[in-house]
């Protein structure tokens, strides 16, 4: 027994998160409220920092991220914790090429749900403790 919850035992908000594909947000747009807001804060990535509203704004964030990382951005989910019926805290480890170096960073995301849809996301990457390597090494 792995100790992992069965699919039917998942908190409904985590089950909804499992349907989201950041590479194809059109396929899961109905998981987001019309006025959903994605907040991104990173003092080392000022060109990305800001609030992105609605599915089109969120798609724009990931398109810009894809451009500045030369398409290398990937997410490895580590864990997710429901906090009551409204919030889910997610820990990920993201890999991307930044300033010519492959960087692995820890990220905490707080997802807020209203009426069964994503209403707000706070994306908080570790800005000062990422592990970097030269891609030519």
Q: Which helix (H) or strand (E) holds 64?
A: helix 54-68
* Average pLDDT of the chain to the nearest whole number: 89
Cβ pair 36, 121 in contact under 8 A: yes
Determine the pLDDT at residue 132: 64
Query: Comparing C-alpha atoms, which of 96, 104, 106 is closest to residue 72?
Result: 96
CATH assignment of 7-133, given 3.40.50.720, 3.90.320.10, 3.40.980.10, 3.10.450.50?
A: 3.10.450.50
User: Above 90 in pLDDT, residue 133?
Assistant: no
Q: What is the pLDDT of residues 10-46, one digit of tens each?
A: 899 999 999 999 999 999 999 999 999 999 998 888 8
Domain extent listing, the chain: 7-133
């Amino acid at each position: 027994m792995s100790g992992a919850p069965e699919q039917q035992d998942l908190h409904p908000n985590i089950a909804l998160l499992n349907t989201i594909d950041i590479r194809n947000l059109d396929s899961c747009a109905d998981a987001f409220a019309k006025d959903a807001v994605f907040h991104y804060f990173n003092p080392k990535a000022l060109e990305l920092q800001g609030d992105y509203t609605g599915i089109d704004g969120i798609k724009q964030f990931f398109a810009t991220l894809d451009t500045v990382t030369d398409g290398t951005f990937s997410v490895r989910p580590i864990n997710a914790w429901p906090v009551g019926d409204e919030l889910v805290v997610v820990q990920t480890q993201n890999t991307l090429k930044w300033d010519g170096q492959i960087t692995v960073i820890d990220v905490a995301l707080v997802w807020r749900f209203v009426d069964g849809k994503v209403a707000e996301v706070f994306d908080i990457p570790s800005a000062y403790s990422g592990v970097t390597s030269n891609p030519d090494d």
